[in-house]
Structure 1
Amino acid sequence: MTDQIYTGVDVGGTSIKLGICDRQGNLLHTFEGPTGTDGGPQVVLQNIVTYVRQLVDQSAYSWEQVAGIGIGFPGFMDMKNGIVKFAPNLRWENVPVKDVLEQELRKPVKINNDANIAALGEAWAGAGKGVDDLVMLTLGTGVGGGIITGGKIQEGHNGMAGELGHIQIVPDLEAIKCGCGQKGCVETVSSATGIVKMALDALERGEKTMLSMHEDITAKAVLDAAREGDEVARRIVNRAGYYLGRTMSILALVLNPKRFIIGGGVSKAGDILFDPIREAFAQYTPPSSQEGVDIVPAELGNNAGVVGAAGLHIRG
């Protein structure tokens, strides 16, 4: 039995995922419960306290072995002081998470952004294991990002480093407005939401595609249609991959990572998406900046955030 264990907590809008990891990043035990967002911060924080205790009680480990608790939240935060400054999905502002939970649990608590902890999880025990310099992009409702350099999360001077989905890469004539208020962000074309929007636009223009047989268009439906040779779907997926690859070429010049990791539901598409990503990256990145760089899918799936949160006390 390991001497010390670390508890990771990944807080989402509807559920809270928890896990216990050892010092090597091995996931030893998991637990999940509802977030309770409607009850406000007090209810959610109390749920975290309850779930952490249940997680440990149901495992083969003792409370005395818990060396630290790490928590990931969807939003903007003051990591140093452990304050969630703004989390729109939770409807939180200026919640002193660290102080409240340390008082309740009597264990060290660290917090970070959910995209950062996913990147840390993959770096510690997933597709980035053994790599000190990497960038992770998560393709879901938006495009999230996390940057690891020298084995550590890069947060920036006020915690905003890694907002990679809002790199403006789409030319003005093609650009549409992003949820952030700007135009042409890579998120508008390379996220699941962006892929669906491009499909709906094609249908509205009356283009012939098997997607017209679907009542509800999803990103998976577009990717599946592209894999089956549908020309409209393939064009949409190529466009999503192209702009993601161009975005990564910019990041390669600035950060010079050894590895790019693509996560999120869209990343399960396989070569139909990864081929245009790699082609655009090769086309727009100088040879010296792409030498030895690989682009791979994430490995930990929904557990990346839990593992990364636990890792905040070791690699954060």
Structure 2
Amino acid sequence: MGKRWIGIDLGGTSMKLGLVDSHGNTVLEMEKPTLAQEGVDGVIGRMVSHARELAKEAGLRWADVAGVGVGLPGFLDVKAGVVKQLTNLGWHEEVPIRRLLEEAWQIPVKIDNDANVAALGEAWCGAGAGVDDVVCITLGTGVGGGLILDGQLLHGRYGFAGEVGHMTIDPEGHPCNCGMRGCLETISSATGMVRMANEAIAAGRSTVLADVEKVGTKEIFAAAAAGDAVALEVKKRAIDALAQAMSALSVVLNPARFIIGGGVSYAGEALIQPLREAYAKRTQPNARQGVDVVLAQLGNRAGYIGAAGLLARERK
């Protein structure tokens, strides 16, 4: 049997754990509640025990696990292995999480941002397999991103590289939670699209969405497919803003592939085809030459696969 690694994708509601082999294949996976209300010690304790439980269920001794990678939803000092802040878990003070986990498990641990590990998962054995230069963009409640250049995650000086959701698209636009205005996240996320639709409804615009009990991106794309003017405007605004960001990334990073994931990507071709067209119109020909724009493939597995890959890819 070859080496095995564990990846953990820690979210505000649940933690996803996967036992992964040296090719990124999932051997066994589980999902457990995070229970953020138990505080830092409680969450870390659950991570420790669930990882051991996963190995045991797979028939492994803990000594057979080569290392654990963890994806975390917040601000990190990746090199130091320290959490700076995890707002949605209520962690507002620095936590030396790598040291704590290594002391508990007695094996190597690496941490990274959750969007970065999802990007790494897709680049390793998903929609970016075999491509060295990839930008992964996740469209969900917010807009996340991960940059893979020459096969390696790009972090930047303070670990903020890849935060594509906070590229300014409209300087006079809607306020963003980051403190700026008109960020990509305020337009192309599920939250942004729903907000724009509800603003049109509140303004008395004629739209079938006014009769929907709870507007979501699924309803917006369905209404757009039926020709609803408001839904079409919201969809076009979100896609154009995303294409504008991708165009800027292309002339700066010159990636070979954009991978689009997250809940909004479940719209499939209704999203990706007009996005390809908008990107082609907005991007300098040399910068877009040979660039693919594709949907993510791994779904909810990308996070823990990429987290495991933080160690597995460097230790094969």
Please tell me the TM-score bracket, short chain as reference.
over 0.9
Report what 2:41 is aligned to. 42
How far does residue 109 in structure 1 lie from its aligned partner after superposition? 0.5
Query: Aligned partners of 1:53, 1:165: CA distance in 2, in Å?
Result: 35
Query: Aligned partners of 1:26, 1:264: CA distance in 2, in Å?
Result: 21
Report what 2:153 is aligned to. 153
How do 1:1-316 residues align onto structure 2 when only pairs under 5 Å count?
Answer: 2-92=1-91, 93-170=93-170, 172=172, 175-315=173-313
Structure 2 unaligned regions, length at least 5: none
Query: Aligned partners of 1:187, 1:48: CA distance in 2, in Å?
Result: 30
- For residues 35-63 of structure 1, the C-alpha deviation after alignment (integer angstroms, 9 at most, x for no partner) is 12111110000000110000000014332
Query: Aligned partners of 1:32, 1:101: CA distance in 2, in Å?
Result: 19
- Quick one: which amino acid aligns to residue 166 of structure 2? H
- Quick one: which amino acid aligns to residue 210 of structure 1? V
Contact 1:195–1:236 (CA under 8 A) maintained in structure 2: yes
Contact 1:9–1:310 (CA under 8 A) maintained in structure 2: yes
- For residues 264-296 of structure 1, the C-alpha deviation after alignment (integer angstroms, 9 at most, x for no partner) is 000111232223322221112111111110100
Contact 1:37–1:90 (CA under 8 A) maintained in structure 2: yes
Query: Aligned partners of 1:314, 1:54: CA distance in 2, in Å?
Result: 20
How far does residue 28 in structure 1 lie from its aligned partner after superposition? 1.0
TM-score (norm 1): 0.97
Pairs aligned (count): 313
- Quick one: which amino acid aligns to residue 213 of structure 2? E
Structure 1 unaligned regions, length at least 5: none
How far does residue 171 in structure 1 lie from its aligned partner after superposition? 5.4
Partner SS state of residue 72, structure 1: strand
Query: Aligned partners of 1:168, 1:315: CA distance in 2, in Å?
Result: 34
- Quick one: which amino acid aligns to residue 130 of structure 1? G
Partner SS state of residue 66, structure 2: strand
Contact 1:238–1:273 (CA under 8 A) maintained in structure 2: no
How far does residue 302 in structure 1 lie from its aligned partner after superposition? 0.5
**Which is further off, 129-138 or 214-223?**
214-223
Partner SS state of residue 156, structure 2: coil
4+ residue runs of structure 1 moved beyond 4 angstroms?
A: none
Query: Aligned partners of 1:149, 1:295: CA distance in 2, in Å?
Result: 16
Query: Aligned partners of 1:274, 1:189: CA distance in 2, in Å?
Result: 16
Partner SS state of residue 272, structure 1: helix
How far does residue 124 in structure 1 lie from its aligned partner after superposition? 0.6
Query: Aligned partners of 1:60, 1:296: CA distance in 2, in Å?
Result: 37
Query: Aligned partners of 1:287, 1:170: CA distance in 2, in Å?
Result: 24
Query: Aligned partners of 1:8, 1:275: CA distance in 2, in Å?
Result: 33
- For residues 191-240 of structure 1, the C-alpha deviation after alignment (integer angstroms, 9 at most, x for no partner) is 00000001001101111111011121112111121122222111111110
Query: Aligned partners of 1:136, 1:315: CA distance in 2, in Å?
Result: 18
- For residues 64-97 of structure 1, the C-alpha deviation after alignment (integer angstroms, 9 at most, x for no partner) is 2211100010001111121111110111121111
- Quick one: which amino acid aligns to residue 9 of structure 2? D
- Quick one: which amino acid aligns to residue 68 of structure 1? G
Partner SS state of residue 95, structure 1: coil
How has the CA–CA distance of structure 1 residues 170 and 288 changed in structure 2, closer, same or farther, with 3 Å as cutoff? Answer: same
**Which is further off, 268-277 or 175-184?**
268-277
Aligned alpha-carbon RMSD (Å) = 1.1
Contact 1:151–1:315 (CA under 8 A) maintained in structure 2: no
Query: Aligned partners of 2:89, 2:18: CA distance in 1, in Å?
Result: 21
